[in-house]
Copies of this chain bind each other. A is one copy, B any other.
Amino acid sequence: MSLLHPDRLFPAEPSTRGLTRALFQSVESLPIVSPHGHTDPRWWGEDPAFADAAELFVIPDHYVVRMLVSQGVPFAALGIGSGAEPDRRTVWRTFAAHYHLFRGTPSRLWIDHALSEVFGIEARLSADTADAAFDAVGDCLSRPEFRPRALYDRFGISVIATTDGALDDLAQHRAARDSGWSGRVVPTYRPDAVTDPDFEGFAGNLDRLGEITGCDTGSWAGYLEAHRARRAFFATMGATATDHGHPTARTADLPEAQARALFDLVRTGRASAEEAETFRAQMLTEFARMSCEDGLVMQLHAGSLRNHSDAVFRAMGRDRGFDIPRRTGYVEELRPLLNAVGMDGRLRLVLFTLDESTYARELAPLAGAYPGLRLGPPWWFHDSFEGMRRFREAVTETAGFHNTAGFNDDTRALCSIPARHDVARRCDCAFLADLVVTHRLDEDEAFALAPLLAHDLARDTYKLGEDA
């Protein structure tokens, strides 16, 4: 018995299933375009071996950690925080014994896919099979064909983007490029640490930005110039995009003197919460203008309340599964930015949301009108079978397919990349097949759209050029 059924995620109704299968076969082997994600640049620069199954599947995966914690498993038992269990096999056994908690979740699909396709494991994970799986994974990881670059090649990736701070020197990207390896790894400019007044160490980060660029980041004009310089540097290293993680989608377009005064205030660290929010809002519009100038595609990931639990943040730090979505508006919020550059043919802004109620109400209407907008794929908790279905059902009738941005895997879990693209391709093919069997689309059109959704839109949206 295999962990993976060949018809997984295909609709049960036979005629729809048959067409879904045919559509999927037409796109299954297309290269993976990964224009947004969080793989570790060191993997590409140094090509290190992974240590063990717990390091690969449990400890860094906040989807996995949060579910186990929610059912009473202590962080320490997962090898995290003070008193962390040091033995990786023990951590793995804890995970395996609780694997039933993931029934019905995308984590289950991704992990089963990776165990089966990457490591050749076909027994369902449980307390009973934990040791065998741990050993099988460990055995593989000691071999060169399981190092990151080899996996990149094996997965059929044609390009992968990392997400990198504004102060990053991109040394690992340089190392990857200089290594002679044929993979294409591009950085993404993510400047939150120097644009969000609430970010830890904001003032020091501004100073560092000045040092790196030689710009006077004590002045508004110099600060903007420093961003331009860093964006240009990222572009020379292959970047085609920037990314902006904001608590809300608010934008502003202040008169120059007000923006300057706000920057001066924010630099002092004495800005109120509202002033900090206005500064972030203003910066989104500034970045949109820069995008028009330098051609870097702008991404906005809005609506996560980070570190909801003070206790978890203090003890465990960021990215431990306690970032919670909240209600997010886009209509009034994006208006200042869109009034500034929304009709400028050079703008390319990809919008992401954690608030699905905005799909049909706000995002599809906006993307179906403004030429510069594209809708990013379902993000984070919604990057799943039901989430993808809701996305297509909610946005297609208003925005069509061409105003969507193709798939992002958005992951820091390397082995889940093929699984995530597999799920997305299956879901999109099922959606197209449903349109055909209900006679909303002709069959030849579905076969034309399937590679668009699986591959071409991502490449085109992010200006990634042709596959090598």
Question: How many angstroms from the CA of A104 to the CA of B441 in the assembled complex?
Answer: 7
Count this chain's copies in the assembly.
3
Q: Which residues of A contact B (CB under 8 A)?
A: 5, 7-13, 15-16, 66-67, 69-72, 100-106, 108-109, 124, 305, 308-312, 321-322, 324-327, 329, 331-332, 335, 338-339, 342-343, 345, 354-357, 360-362, 364-371, 373, 381-382, 384-387, 393-394, 396-403, 434-435, 437-442, 445, 448-449
Partner of A369, one of B10, B105, B324, B440: B324
A387 to chain B, nearest CB (A): 7
B5 contacts A439, C-beta separation under 8 Å: yes
Partner of A397 from the list B305, B309, B343, B381 (CB cut-off 8 Å) is B381
**CB of A96, distance to nearest CB on chain B (Å):** 15
| Max chain B Cβ within 10 angstroms of own Cβ: one of A356, A364, A369, A435 | A369
- A381 and B360 contact, CB distance less than 8 A: yes
Flag if A12 contacts B5 (CB, 8 Å). no
Given A105-B397, A324-B366, A324-B369, 11 other A-B residues pairs in contact with their CB atoms under 8 A: A12-B437, A100-B445, A104-B397, A105-B400, A106-B397, A305-B332, A308-B366, A312-B343, A321-B369, A357-B361, A385-B397
Q: With a CB–CB cut-off of 8 A, which chain B residues contact A445?
A: 100, 103
B70–A373 touching, CB < 8 Å: yes
List 5 contacting pairs A-B, 8 Å CB cutoff, sorted by A.
A103-B441, A308-B366, A311-B339, A324-B331, A354-B361
A386 lies within 8 A of B393 (CB): yes
Instruction: For the complex formed, measure the closest distance between the CB of A327 and the CB atoms of chain B, giving whole angstroms.
Output: 6
A384 to B365, CA, bound (A): 14
Contact between B332 and A326, CB atoms less than 8 A apart: yes
Q: Are A8 and B71 touching (Cβ within 8 A)?
A: no
Distance in Å: Cβ of A99 to nearest Cβ of chain B: 11
Chain B residue contacts of A310, Cβ below 8 A: 339
Q: Are B70 and A12 in contact (CB under 8 A)?
A: no
Chain B CB count within 10 A is highest, among A5, A368, A385, for A368
In Å, the complex CA distance between A438 and B361 comes to 30
The 4 closest A-B pairs by CB, nearest first: A8-B439, A5-B439, A104-B396, A12-B437
| A12 → B minimal CB distance (Å) | 4
- Inter-chain CA distance A369–B12, complex, in Å, is 32
Residue of B100, B311, B321 touching A343 (CB-CB under 8 A): B311
Contacts of A357 in B (CB 8 A): 327, 355-357, 361
- Taking CB atoms, residues of chain B closer than 8 Å to A400 are 67, 101-105
Given A356-B360, A361-B356, A327-B325 contact (CB < 8 Å): no
Q: State whether A365 and B324 are in contact (beta carbons under 8 Å apart), knowing that A109-B440, A332-B305, A438-B11 are contacts in the complex.
A: yes
Q: How far, in angstroms, from A386 to B360 measured CA to CA in the complex?
A: 10
* Cross-chain contact A324 with B104 (CB below 8 angstroms): no
Q: A381 to chain B: which residues have CB within 8 Å?
A: 360, 364-365, 397-398
B361 touches A338 (CB 8 A): no
Query: Is A12 touching B438 in the complex (CB atoms < 8 A)?
Result: yes
The reply to whether A324 and B397 form a contact with Cβ atoms under 8 Å apart is no
Q: How far is the CA of A327 from the CA of B359 in the complex (A)?
A: 12
Determine the chain B residues whose CB is within 8 A of the CB of A326 once the complex forms: 329, 331-332, 361-362
In whole angstroms, what is the CA distance A228 to B434 when docked?
Answer: 51
Query: In the complex, what residues of B have CB within 8 A of residue A308's CB?
Result: 331, 335, 338, 366, 369
CB-CB under 8 A from A101, the residues of chain B are: 400, 402
B13 lies within 8 A of A12 (CB): yes
Partner of A70, one of B329, B371, B449: B371
B327 contacts A361, C-beta separation under 8 Å: yes
User: Which residues of chain B have C-beta atoms less than 8 A from A324's C-beta?
Assistant: 331, 362, 365-366, 369
